[in-house]
Every structure is written in structure tokens, then in C-alpha cells.
Structure 1
Amino acid sequence: MASALDRIRVGSAPDSWGVWFPDDPVQVPWERFLDEVSEAGYDWIELGPHGYLPTDPARLTDEVTRRGLKVSAGTVFTGLHRGPAVWESTWEHVSEVATLTQAMGARHLVVIPSFWRDDKTAEILEPAELTREQWGHLTQGMERLGHEVREKFGLDIVVHPHADTHIDTETHVERFLDSTDSALVNLCLDTGHYAYCGGDSVKLIETYGERIGYLHLKQVDPEILADVVKNEVPFGPAVARGVMCEPPAGVPELGPVLEAAQRLDVDLFAIVEQDMYPCEPDKPLPIAVRTRAFLRSCGA
């Protein structure tokens, strides 16, 4: 048994049940997700796509509490690189999610940058590289978002590097961190997305430890990833091919990542997020049970 990682709080999310959208006929019903995530041995969950779980705080509180669950974060999608013109629509979306997140007693808001390539249709939406001006809009917009979310909701934003977005590779992630104020903006390090984009999670934790505010745990299958990179497969179809795999079958090794996070000596959420959209409804629970057992073997 590995040494106890007592600063790491493990949870899971609708994503690990194949849930990417608020409403989709191929996804499991939210009641089943809550039942099974509790059965699998997790204490913490994220809200997932806004509208998938009940948005009435009283009802959701009842649903999660009676299953022994607590909420760690909400998730929002933003396109702040587009400049001040998108602020009002962004804030409307963020406020809606942040209101529920705050009501559920959570302290974090996971912020995902908008996709330059559609994850469902694979349509190219805009260039993969930002201009200098767009980088300025992105970093300043995230700082403003961090300030406003903290002032109005008491939440901390954690920005999630993500495949097929403008914050993805080591170069882009480091540029983003070097260009933003740590008092306002920190990172949700997703180990699977970072590996998917060629990054080293342990190195990032050891180099930018003070900026790591939250973790998503997932792994990629190196063989499938190699084919995805070679053939420039978009993220959505890559997930359908199984590029995100059950630990410990893929990379990065999660034990060293968790140990590096523990050495930061701060309390961190580590939320399991194995992308499986779409998937058969009976597939997630056995994987979730095995993954929880594996993380316990790592000390988490």
C-alpha cells in the first residue's frame, strides 16, 4: 500500500459516465449517475454540463446528500480570447453556473476555453493559434473573470487546459500561466488532456506548483494517441476511439502525479474524468469501481 496522500480529495464527475451535454439521448440519466458514483465509493462530484443535474439548489442538495455526496466544483465554457464583446454573454453563463456551485457549498469553478475545432462535428471553427491581440484578450479576460467570480460568489476559478482549445500544449499552458496573475487565475491540471497534447504533468506540478489549484485525473492510450496525432484526428472522434483509457493502462502514471501534488502541501481535489462519450450505459460503473480501488492503492 502506498503512503497516504492526505492532502488529496478524490472524486468523480459525469464525464466518467459518458456525459458531455446537458441533455443527450445516449447519456445515462442523472439519477443513475448519482446512484452509481456513490456506489463506486466516491465522496465528491462535479456538477458537469449545466442542466444535466437538477439546477434547483434545494432539490440537488437533497439528491446528493442522501447519497453521501458533496460537490467540489461547477464547470463553465468561455471564449474570452474574442475580446470584450463576449463578456456579457460569458458572464450570464458563468453567473448561472456559479450561483448553483456556490449554493452547493463548492469553492471552485472549472473554466474550459472554447474549442477551435468542434468536438462533436470536427468542424474547424477558427485558427488553432491565437494572435498576440487574442492572447491579450484571453489572459486579461481570465483575470477579470477570476476577480468577478471571487467578488460576487466567493469561488476560485481554475482554468482547464484542454485538447482542441488554445490552452493545450506545454508552450501554451506556460505562456498562459506566465501572463496571468496567480492571485486571480490558477490551473485545473487535467493529466489526460495534458498528456494528449504532449505535456508532462509531474514536471508542470514541480515547476508551477503554486499555480496548481485543482486536478482532473485521466490517462491516454499511447498507441491510440500516436494514431490520433499522426492523422490529426479531432478530440471528439479520438475519444470515441478510446484514446482516454482506464487507469493504470495508459499515461501518465497517476501515482507519481499524485505524489508530486501531495508534496505541494495544500489540499487539492483530484477528480476522475475518463472521457467516454458515447458509451454503453453499463460500462462506466465497473470502470469507476476499479479506478477507485486503483487510486486507493496509490494512497488516495
Structure 2
Amino acid sequence: MDRLSHTPVDTPPVLDRIRVGSAPDSWGVWFPDDPRQVPWERFLDEVAGAGYSWIELGPYGYLPTDPARLADEVGGRGLKVSAGTVFCGLHRGPGEWDATWEQVGRVAALTQAMGAAHLVVIPSFWRDDRTAEILEPPELDREQWAHLTRGMERLGRRVRETYGLDIVVHPHADTHLDTEEHVTRFLDSTDPGLVGLCLDTGHYAYCGGDSVELIESYGERVGYLHLKQVDPGVLAAVRAEGLPFGPAVQRGVMCEPPNGVPELGPVLTAAQRLGVDLFAIVEQDMYPCEPDRPLPVAERTRRFLRSCGA
């Protein structure tokens, strides 16, 4: 009697600590109001239809800012909110605090009302992300670094005391917090109890960093993930031409998984090994885009992430 031969089937790891979501960014939304962006109702309908359970708020004012209405709109589609997002320029010193806190307060209050626990904080751009106008020197001096680190610690403490949220700082292309050198310096200079890290795999790769290595080296600081990939060929041209981030996105530098770098499977596996619950929010970065483009990309990306175990 012949024995039946069985071919081993590769099964993805069970990434049960990773909570996958998406964001308005994946629908080409960068601004509170822009005629080239899809209406917020369509975003909510499509992100739910694509198989995601979690979303970010996106730019303040894109989604409804009345908490009761937003809760109805989000909850009625089976969605939940993972975080809000703010930009700030705390490296400029204490004179920046009042304006920063006014903005943070609006976003944090809505984030808290939606039951989320995180506020993603992105440093301000040193050059305009569309025109390439140089707004500030690309490198901070020693005093500005001190303002940045102390300011983020102050912000983390105040946000937690006032709204019960944890801040996770997001390294971003064309900001002063971008490369491995800058990110590790920032982490080494800030209190882990006050300031976490939002690791955006695409931005970190865009600036030459290794996401898996960062997770393995500074895992205790990683409190949140943004998932995206970079097209290496487009990135090489972007660097050669000195393009700012906005035109680079229009060129297609951020590509649909799994067509770019870093490989997201190893990133998610490294994050799972941390043994903590982590949001992993897809951010496709494709402003501006045709309104029918985001949904198929989002559906394919969700299937791909499931194939990775998430």
C-alpha cells in the first residue's frame, strides 16, 4: 500500500499582538479640506469595506469633529479609532508651546472622546513638502535639540495628565527627525516613560533606516507602527534630484506592498516578539490620487497583511 506523501505548507506566524488598521492617508487625504480628496463618508465606507477595523483621525477637520456625530459615523460602520495626529515645531523653543498646545488640545480631546489611547506627534518640516522651499536649516544645533527633546517630554507629560493619552513621536522625511542617527539620538535623549516612538516603516526606509534593527534595538520605545513601503528605484531618483517629500510621493516613491522595502513580514514578526499589543496602521501616502484608486489598493494590502499573519 502506497504511503500518501504530504507536501509541507508554509503557514504564516500568528501575529496576535498586532492590530491592523488604515488611515485617511491611504485614501490620498493630507488636508482637512481639499477638492482632490475623497469625501470623508466615502473614506469610512471604503475602509470598512476593505476589511479594516481600526482607523486614525487623519488631519483634524477632515472627519467630523463633533464627538457624538463622529462616534455614530465610525461605530455605525464597525470601526474604532486608534489615534489622532498632530504636527509641531517644539525645537523652536518655549515660545512655540502655546500654539502647539492649542492644536494638541483640540486633537487630543477628540482622540480621547473616541476611546483611543495614542497621539501621533510629527515634527514640523524643514522644507515645504510641495514647493521645496527651505523653511529652516535641515540640521538642528545643540540648543534646538534640547528644545526638541525637553519639549516632547513636556508634551508627553501634559497630554497624559490632561487626556490620558500616550504620545508616540513619528520620524518623518523632510523633518529634523528622520535618519537612524537622528532617531537614535532622540530616543537616547528622551524619557521612555514620557515619549514613545511611532515607527513608520516607509519613512524610516526613505531616510536609510532599518526597521527590524530599530525594533530589536529600541523595542521598549516602540509604541505604534505605521506600515508602508518604498520603491528603491524611485527613491534613488528622488535622492539624486533632491526632491521634497510631496513630489516624491507623486512620483510613486511609496509603493503598494509587497512591491518595495522593507519587507513587512519580518517587521511584523519582530514587533510581535516584543510581547506587547501594537497598532500597525497602513499609510499608503498617495496624495493626490484618483478617487477610485485607494479601495483596490487597500483591499490587496489587507489580504497581503493577512498572508503575513496579521
> Do these two structures clear the TM 0.5 threshold for a shared fold by scoring above it?
yes
Paired position in structure 2 for 1:66: 76
Q: Quick one: distance in 1 between partners of 2:31 and 2:129?
A: 11
1:195 and 2:208 are equivalent in the alignment = no
Paired position in structure 2 for 1:273: 283
**Structure 1 stretch displaced more, 225-234 or 71-80:** 225-234
Q: 2:133 aligns with which of 108, 123, 128?
A: 123
Q: Quick one: distance in 1 between partners of 2:183 and 2:219?
A: 13
Alignment of 1:113-192 (within 5 A): 113-192=123-202
Equivalent AA in structure 2 for residue 238 of structure 1: A
Paired position in structure 2 for 1:47: 57
Equivalent AA in structure 1 for residue 255 of structure 2: C
Equivalent AA in structure 2 for residue 61 of structure 1: A
1:248 and 2:258 are equivalent in the alignment = yes
Q: 2:121 aligns with which of 111, 120, 123?
A: 111
Paired position in structure 2 for 1:25: 35
Deviation at 1:17, TM superposition (A): 0.2
Q: 1:8 aligns with which of 2, 18, 21?
A: 18
SS at 2:16's partner residue?
coil
Query: C-alpha deviations, 1:32-74, integer Å up to 9, x for none?
Result: 0000000000000000000000000000000001100000000
SS at 1:257's partner residue?
helix
Q: Quick one: distance in 2 between partners of 1:230 and 1:203?
A: 26
SS at 1:208's partner residue?
helix
1:37 and 2:47 are equivalent in the alignment = yes
The TM-score, its normalising length taken from structure 2, stands at 0.96
Q: Quick one: distance in 1 between partners of 2:289 and 2:130?
A: 14
**Length, aligned pairs only:** 300
Paired position in structure 2 for 1:292: 302
Show structure 1 runs of 4+ deviating over 4 A: none
SS at 2:154's partner residue?
helix
Deviation at 1:212, TM superposition (A): 0.2
Q: Quick one: distance in 1 between partners of 2:98 and 2:51?
A: 40
Q: Quick one: distance in 2 between partners of 1:138 and 1:3?
A: 39
Deviation at 1:230, TM superposition (A): 1.3
Q: Quick one: distance in 1 between partners of 2:144 and 2:285?
A: 29
Paired position in structure 2 for 1:96: 106
Q: 2:221 aligns with which of 211, 214, 219?
A: 211
Query: C-alpha deviations, 1:191-249, integer Å up to 9, x for none?
Result: 00000000000000000000000000000000000111111111000000000000000
Query: C-alpha deviations, 1:119-156, integer Å up to 9, x for none?
Result: 12221101000010000000000000000000000000
% same residue: 81
Deviation at 1:167, TM superposition (A): 0.3
RMSD: 0.4
Structure 1: runs of 5 or more not aligned: none
Equivalent AA in structure 1 for residue 75 of structure 2: T
Q: Quick one: distance in 1 between partners of 2:13 and 2:187?
A: 31
1:237 and 2:247 are equivalent in the alignment = yes
Equivalent AA in structure 1 for residue 170 of structure 2: H
Equivalent AA in structure 1 for residue 219 of structure 2: G
Paired position in structure 2 for 1:263: 273
SS at 2:193's partner residue?
coil
Q: Quick one: distance in 2 between partners of 1:181 and 1:3?
A: 33
SS at 2:46's partner residue?
helix
Of the two, which has the highest radius of gyration? 2
